[in-house]
Every structure is written in structure tokens, then in C-alpha cells.
Structure 1
Amino acid sequence: MTDKNEWGSNMSFILAMIGSAVGLGNIWRYPYVLYSNGGGAFYIPYIVAILLMGIPFLILEYGVGYNFKSSFAKAVKTINSKWEYLGWLLPVAVFMIMIYYSAILGWDGIYIFLSFFKGWGADPNAYFTTTLLQSSDSLSGLLSFIPLIAVAMLVGWVIIWFISHRDLEKGLGKVSKILVPLLFIIMIIIVGFSLTLPGASVGLAELFHPDWSLLGNFDIWMAAFGQIVFSLSLGMSIAFTYASYTKDDSDLITNTISIALANSLFENFAALGVFSILGYMSLQSGTAVADLVTQGTGLVFIVYPTVFNVLGNWAYVLGPLFFFTVYLAGLTSILSTIEPLSFSIQNKFGMTRKRTMTILIVVGAIISMIYATSYGSSVLGYVDTFINQIAILLGVIFECIIFAWIFKAEKLIDFLNSRSKSIKLGKWWILIVKYILPIFVTIVWIGGMYDVIQNSTPDQLIFTVISAVLLLGATLAFTLLPSKSPNWENSEERV
């Protein structure tokens, strides 16, 4: 291979990982999770989840990734050749996330332009669901193509290709050094302004009002651990892949703490802005904050435009800033979702980074056009539920088994501690990654499976099965195809 898959500096690695972790979920998912799970009381299980699962599991992924300095698929095959199939499962699943994520990025790109003149009109809800998405509940909506969304998505794919096909440091590393600090700066400006709005204190009081009685409820703990899994992209093979690109002297333990802290600060800071604006909206409309709170696309594409409609001239500044921030958060995350599969293909088939990225992005762009149809937003919801509640969590469980048990995580302790300027690993870490983590994630996975089976419509079950067949089929194909790289069978361990 002629490509240099290595970060130019430790800062490139840290900023790229922060960019991967800080995504749309921090802006539109976390504030709702915090509010609906006890407000201020939620911080107890949230902090426990970071300390008990987030940091220990990231250290495990980083440690094994750095040890093998290879792709996820190759490392899993090296640990035990019988498990190569699972080495492809997670990278393919994460690539499927990238494909539907491109649709949300496209929607937001449209809203950046709309925000300059409040192009969503007097009824943002009707504009988003009816005018833009042209949402249909019927499968026949798959035949109704929406050119505007398709073009917006293709623009996103071109940007992703422009960054990703270059050598790692010249592309992703360089862009991360610009976009991630810019993302934080713009968010500070937005939140700073939001805190000055009349009614901001009403929204914040509603957000942080602690309901201590919920601490005895198992659901609040499930919500905290689930948030950390999704927020830090645990078990998605992204952290593993990024760590495999690091230089030899990296302090992976300290880096892990820095990344987890930055991610936590961003999503809690975003929550301040969201609820300050909801408080302002509550004051203006006379509607209780509880009736305005929502999560997901509704918050970004319906609630925020509704607020901007009553904000006056400031909306013409705050609106574009907000939607540009969402775009940056989406872009820094989506760039990370192609890396695990790309690097695995480069390793096994001896292809260059440029060629691999180009092929994957063309294939992804073509498949993503299903989301540029009237039924696209429904399909997106179905695939997202399958990938996040079933496929990824199952991958986390298998990753714990392969890395902690079969590879033997104990081998990493001396090596990681020798480079650490912060905490030192010990038996407590082994206890967490070998026992506590896989048991808890298994419980969360069973809960997710039950939820999907219990609440699925016939259409959702159809697309869940289709998604599973595509995931398992692609994984099987990559596993069975013969290697074209002489290095596929060779691997060097560092510990």
C-alpha cells in the first residue's frame, strides 16, 4: 500500500476522535434523555456510566487497536481466525449507519440555506414533513423521488469523498483540526446567546429540576448507559481503527479521558442551549416546556425553526449558525463511519486508500437514494433502530468476549500504564471489561430486542429483516472473498 494511514500528531488523533463522538446525538438526543430521566438526578447514573463503561471500554478498544496496528477485521482474524466473520460485521454495520446519516446531513444542508430567509414558513412542522420530506406511510412512497433531498445528499457525499480519499493526515487529520474547534466555538456562541433570552431560566429550571425518586428506577440507569454507548460510539470499531493509526508514543489512557470529557462537556453545553431556547419559546407561546420537549429530527427541524420564527432579526444570525453547527457535528461523525470498513478492505485486498474510499462512497451514495424518497424517513427510522438497538450492541458484546477474554486484556495493562501520565490500570479494569460490561450490555441488548419485537409495525419488521440480510450477506462476502494482500496472514503484536 502506498497510503500512509497514520496520524501526523497526537492532536490529530484526539480531535478526530472528539469529532467522531460529538455528533447529532449530542445535540438532539442527549438534552431529551437528560430531561426525561430525572433532570439533575440523571447526572449520578450518567457519571457512573462514563466511569464504569465509557472510559474502560474505550481504553480496551484503543489498547487492542494500537497493539495490532491493523484494521478491525484483520485484528479479529489474528486473534482467532474462526472469528473473522465478526471482524467484518461491525465495520459493515457502521457503514450502514453512514448511508442513512447522509440523509440527515442532506436535510440539514437544505436548512442552512432556508435559515437565511426562514424558508420553512409559518408552519415548520408542515414544511418539514409534507413539503420537504413529502412523507408517505405507504410502501409506494419508495417510488416517489425527491430531487432536492437527493441533490443535498450528493453534495454531502462529494464533501466526504474530498476529505476521505486523501492520505489520513492530509485529509481527515487536517480537517479535524479545523472543524472540531470551530464546532465548539460556534456552539459556545449559540449557547451564550441562548442564555440571554427572556425565559431561559424557565427552561433551565425545568431541565435541571431533579427527580431523585427515579434513581431507584432501572430505566434511568439503562438510559444513562445507553447514552454513553451511542454518544462515545462504543463498540463500533471506530475507536479501534483510529487507535491503530496512532504513533508509537501515544498515551492512550490520558487520551481516552480527554475525549470522554470533551464529549460530555459538549452534550451538556448543548443541553443548556436547547432548554434556554425552549424556555424562551414557552414564555412567548404560553405553552409549558414539557409540551415543547422532543428529541430527534423534530427538535432540530421543527422546534428550532418555530423558535426562529418568533425570535425577530436575531434569527437570521442564530439560525444559520445553528444549522451550520449541526452540519459540522454530522460531518465530523460521518467521516469516522467509513474508516473501519475502508481500512479492513485495504488490509485484505491490497487496495489503496484513494480507490477504496472512492468505491465505498459511490456505492454508499447510490444506496442512500432510498432515503431521498417519500418513504425514506420511515425507512431511516427502521434501519436506525435495527442497527443501534440490535446489531451494534451485539457487536459490543462480541468485542468484549474477543478482546477481553480470547485476546486477554491483561496483556495490555503494563504496556498502557507505562505510557500513562494519568490513571493506572489494574484488576478493577479487568473486572469491568470482562464481567460487568458484557453482562450489562447484554441486558440492554435484550431490552432493545424486546422493544423492537413488541412495538414493530409489519413494515418495520420487513425492513428489519431486509437490513439484517444485507448486513449478514455483505459480512459473509467480505469474509469468504480470497485475500489479495500478502500481509493479510501476517500480523505483528506489540504486547
Structure 2
Amino acid sequence: MAERTAAPEREQWTGQYGFILAAVGSAVGLGNIWRFPGVAYENGGGAFLVPYLVALLTAGVPILLLDYSLGHRFRGSAPAVFRRLGKGFEPLGWFQVAISFIIATYYTVIVVWAIRYIGFSVDMAWGEDPAAFFTGDFLRYSGAGLSTDYVGGIFWPMLVLWLVVLAVLALGVQRGLERANRIFIPLLAVLFLIMVVRALFLEGAADGLTAFFTPNWEALGDPNVWIAAYSQIFFSLSIAFGIMITYSSYLKRRSNVAPTGYVVAFANSSFELLAGIGVFATLGFMAAQQGVAVGELENLTGPMLSFATFPQIVSMMPGGPIFGILFFTSLALAGFTSLISILQVVSAAFQEKFGLSRVQVSLLIGGLAAVISLALYSSTSGLAVLDTVDKYTNEVGVVLSAIATCVIVTLGARRLPELRAHLNAVSTGHVGRWWSVLVGAIVPIALTVMLVTSLSTLLGERYEDYPLAFLNIAGWGTLALMAVAALVYTLIPWRRPVDDFTPEPLSASQEARR
């Protein structure tokens, strides 16, 4: 039997405010700025806000509270929490760690793109054809494959970014994560608000907002629109892959957990709505300059929206370089705060399982993630690899994790009443039986439908017409690697005590309120 070391005293946030900023920093990321506006526009415009709000209330908030209750009650990383629910459930914790690890490897490259584009904005280095500049001059994109030809303009900045990220992780919860978020989240809010206000005064902004908010009510009858809404909520709230479990485990035992979850959820959605307003006001300006309707514009989603369409807008507008600097700085800050939260999931798990220090984990695990990131995503085929890994990880891996969490908590460990009682014991607001119904039945059923739909699409047609061999390696291969890693790490003995943990007892009155 491996020698075990005593568990050190668990780190904690300095207070509720520090936790809220960190949780908002994790939730507000790249998906808010470049994904939500395009998804909303493609799925009914203003009408999309209906399924989006339903998804927020019926899945986003309930799963967020579930993550909070698990982390706060069982005081550990994702693998430790699920093991404390039952030894057979530990693999799910490691599966969530694997998801976070994979996402971290490609998140860095997008942050690097944004940082590089801050500099490009100064003299509008993308020229007259920003799309060609992005895929050609900048990425030197060679198509789907596993290229060994690396792009120096991405490789070296990514190396520097990784050093900064690992330094933040090594500093710990208070001096690293909390301090970074206390600086960057207010800065992000100010910069992004300035950008949105500027966008609202552009010529054609009203047309862009009309296109964004005009409802297509017929879209509400399309199941894919509802699936898109639930996908967006999970993508943007950082739920079901260990982040909020890990973050809430650092809360003090007497913390107002449930109201904090509501604040984080609605702060995230408010930022998404603000991003939609800013982005489409700007697109309205672009359409006015070209003399076309907003609906006739191209590249309104994903990386092309941020790195092809927006540079083109910057080139057209008065004071464009300043607008470009504001936009790409906001994008970089949002990506960075999400990145450090994702890596903390991995860091916490390895600290607890193997008895490693923060610095050791930063060097070993963070170093491995950095090597993979540099090898896969700074090559000329990096865009296709990123696109595929992101698609399969989020639409299959994260959704499968959420379903498994609901089923395990409800049927496997039968801890749902206990978790609701815990939330009520530490919160000023009462969490009613509606939460148990949603987590125990409605959410897993809805997510199962979503997962089956995604799987049938991915199995029935080649994603983006990429070669089948490439999809099998970058897509299905990534999911298989996550599953294998989850099983392997479960089999390794814990170096720190994990099973001798007893949750804080609930009083008789709290038990009665289950």
C-alpha cells in the first residue's frame, strides 16, 4: 500500500466577494463574446431568448447549485467529492478533470490569438482582407491533419502565456486565483462596457439590434433551437466539468451558497446579453457601410466572427484601432480568467490524489498541458484540431458528465435530499423541492435527448467535412482518452486521506426540511 501523507489545511477564499468574482471570471469567457450572439441570431433572434431563459432556469441554475452543494459539502476536488459519494463514483470526477485538462490545452491558443490581435489593431495589420490574413498570414492554416509545421507568431506568445498561468496557479487560491480575478474582472467589465457604448452610437447600430432582437417565433418549434439554448448555457456557465465543484470547496463553511449561485448565473447571462448588443450594433454598422442587410453578412459565429469580421469592422469605423484594442483586450481577459479556473480543477485533483504541492502540480501537470497545447495548436493545422476537439468535448463529454452527475447523485448515492438540506442550511434563501425535481428528472431527461441528437449528428455525417480518420483521432479519440484516463487514475491509490471524511452534520430541523 502506498504511503499516505496527512492532508494540509484546505485553502479558502478570503470571503464571498472573492469567490463571486472568481466564479464570474470562470463563467464569463470566450463563449459569451463570440458564441452567444451568433447562436442567438441563427436560432430565432429575439425568440431565442425564450428557450435560453428556460434553459438557464431549468438546467443552468439547478446544475450550478448542484455543483456548489457537492463541492461545499464534501470539501474536495472533483475526484475526491465523487469518491466520498461512493468509491465506485470516483471515475466521474477524473472524467471531469480530463475534460478540463483538454479544454485548457486549446483555450490558451485562443487567448494568444486575442493578445496578438491587440497589437494588430494598432496599425490594422490585417490589411484589406482580414479573413485571408487570419487563416493565411497569421495561422498559415493547412487544413485538417496533424501538422508538424509550427507558427512562430503563436508558439512563442503561447509559451509566455503558459508561464504566467502556471505562476498564478502556483500562488494558490487567495494570492493567485482570487487576486487575478479581483484585478481582471472589474477591468474586463469596464473595457467591455466602453466598447458596447461606443458601438451603440455607430451608424446602422439600430439595424443590427433589430436583427438581433427581432423574434422568429416559428423557430421555437424546432428542437434544434432548444438544444442550442441548453448547449449555450452549459458552455458558458462552466458547469458539469469540475470547476464549480472545486471553487465552492474553497468557500468557508458558513457561506451563503445558493444566493451566490443566482448572482453568478445571472451575471453571466447579463454579460452574454450585453455582448450580443455590442456585437450586433457593430455588425449593423458593417452592414450599413456595405449597403447590405445584416442577414447577408458572413462569418457571424466562432473564431471567424472575432478574428475576421471584427477586424474588418475596425478598419471601417472612426477610431477603429481604439475599438479593436478594447475588443481584443476584453476577449483576452475573459479567456484568461476562464483558463485559470479550468486548470485549477486539474491542479486540485492532483494535489489531493498524489500529495503534490501547488508548485509541483504547476510544473508537472501544467507543464504537460503546455507541451500538448504548443504541439497541437500552434501548428498550421491547429484551427481544425481546435475546432474538432472543442466540438466533441463540449457536445458529448460535458453533456455526458452532467447526465452522469444527476443520475449518480439522485439514484446511485441517493444524496439529493441531503444536498438540498445542505444548501438550505448554509443559505439565506430556501431551495425548494422544485430543485430536486429538476436535477433528479427534468434535467437528465432533457440532456439525454440533447446528447442523443448530438451523437446521431456526429455519427451520421462528417463534422465540417473533415476527413474521417482525422475526426476519429481528434474527436472520438479525445473522448476515448478521457475515459481511459478516468479509469487509470481511479486505480491509483490516494497519497492523502480521502475516505475518512465526514460531512458537517445537519440538525434535526434541517433534516426535516429535506
TM-score w.r.t. length of structure 1: 0.96
Give the letter for the 2:501 counterpart: S
Does 1:156 find its partner at 2:161? Answer: yes
Identify the residue that residue 227 of structure 2 maps to in structure 1.
Answer: 222
Identify the residue that residue 251 of structure 1 maps to in structure 2.
Answer: 256
Cα deviations by residue, 1:86-131 (Å, 9 ceiling, x for unpaired): 2201111111000011111111111111111111111101110011
200-209 vs 466-475, greater mean Cα deviation: 466-475
Does 1:14 find its partner at 2:12? Answer: no
Does 1:400 find its partner at 2:406? Answer: yes
Cα deviation, residue 47, structure 1: 1.3
Distance 1:311 1:220 in 2: 33
Correspondent of 2:347 among 334, 339, 342: 342
Identify the residue that residue 442 of structure 1 maps to in structure 2.
Answer: 448
Identify the residue that residue 274 of structure 2 maps to in structure 1.
Answer: 269
Identify the residue that residue 86 of structure 1 maps to in structure 2.
Answer: 92
Say what the alpha-carbon RMSD is for the aligned residues: 1.5
Identify the residue that residue 480 of structure 1 maps to in structure 2.
Answer: 491
Q: Which runs of 4+ in 1 moved over 3 A?
A: 1-4
Look up the SS of the partner of 1:338 in the other structure: helix
Structure 2: tracts of 5 or more residues without a match: 1-6, 506-514
Identify the residue that residue 180 of structure 1 maps to in structure 2.
Answer: 185
Distance 1:284 1:322 in 2: 20
Note if contact 2:392-2:476 (Cα within 8 Å) is conserved in structure 1.
no
Cα deviations by residue, 1:258-283 (Å, 9 ceiling, x for unpaired): 00110011010011110011000111
Note if contact 2:167-2:362 (Cα within 8 Å) is conserved in structure 1.
no
Cα deviations by residue, 1:234-293 (Å, 9 ceiling, x for unpaired): 211111111101011211110011001100110100111100110001111113211225
Identify the residue that residue 139 of structure 2 maps to in structure 1.
Answer: 133
Cα deviations by residue, 1:34-80 (Å, 9 ceiling, x for unpaired): 11121121222111111111111111110111001111101111211
Distance 1:51 1:38 in 2: 19
62-71 vs 43-52, greater mean Cα deviation: 43-52
Identify the residue that residue 419 of structure 1 maps to in structure 2.
Answer: 426
Note if contact 1:382-1:460 (Cα within 8 Å) is conserved in structure 2.
yes
Distance 1:133 1:49 in 2: 36
Distance 1:274 1:106 in 2: 21
Identify the residue that residue 508 of structure 2 maps to in structure 1.
Answer: none
184-193 vs 106-115, greater mean Cα deviation: 106-115
TM-score w.r.t. length of structure 2: 0.93
Note if contact 1:16-1:173 (Cα within 8 Å) is conserved in structure 2.
yes
Distance 1:138 1:65 in 2: 39
Structure 1: tracts of 5 or more residues without a match: none
Identify the residue that residue 394 of structure 2 maps to in structure 1.
Answer: 388
Cα deviation, residue 379, structure 1: 0.9
User: Would you say how many aligned residue pairs link Structure 1 and Structure 2?
Assistant: 491
Look up the SS of the partner of 2:254 in the other structure: coil
Identify the residue that residue 316 of structure 1 maps to in structure 2.
Answer: 321
Look up the SS of the partner of 2:147 in the other structure: helix
Distance 1:349 1:488 in 2: 11
Distance 2:479 2:40 in 1: 31
Distance 1:2 1:432 in 2: 36
Identify the residue that residue 470 of structure 1 maps to in structure 2.
Answer: 481
C-alpha spacing 1:243/1:138, structure 2 compared with 1 (3 Å): closer
Cα deviation, residue 2, structure 1: 5.3
Identify the residue that residue 455 of structure 1 maps to in structure 2.
Answer: 461
Identify the residue that residue 232 of structure 1 maps to in structure 2.
Answer: 237
Identify the residue that residue 510 of structure 2 maps to in structure 1.
Answer: none
Cα deviation, residue 407, structure 1: 4.2
Look up the SS of the partner of 1:166 in the other structure: helix
- Counting only pairs closer than 5 Å after superposition, residues 193-232 of structure 1 correspond to structure 2 as 193-232=198-237
- Counting only pairs closer than 5 Å after superposition, residues 286-325 of structure 1 correspond to structure 2 as 286-293=291-298, 294-312=300-318, 314-325=319-330
Give the letter for the 2:62 counterpart: P
Note if contact 2:354-2:495 (Cα within 8 Å) is conserved in structure 1.
yes
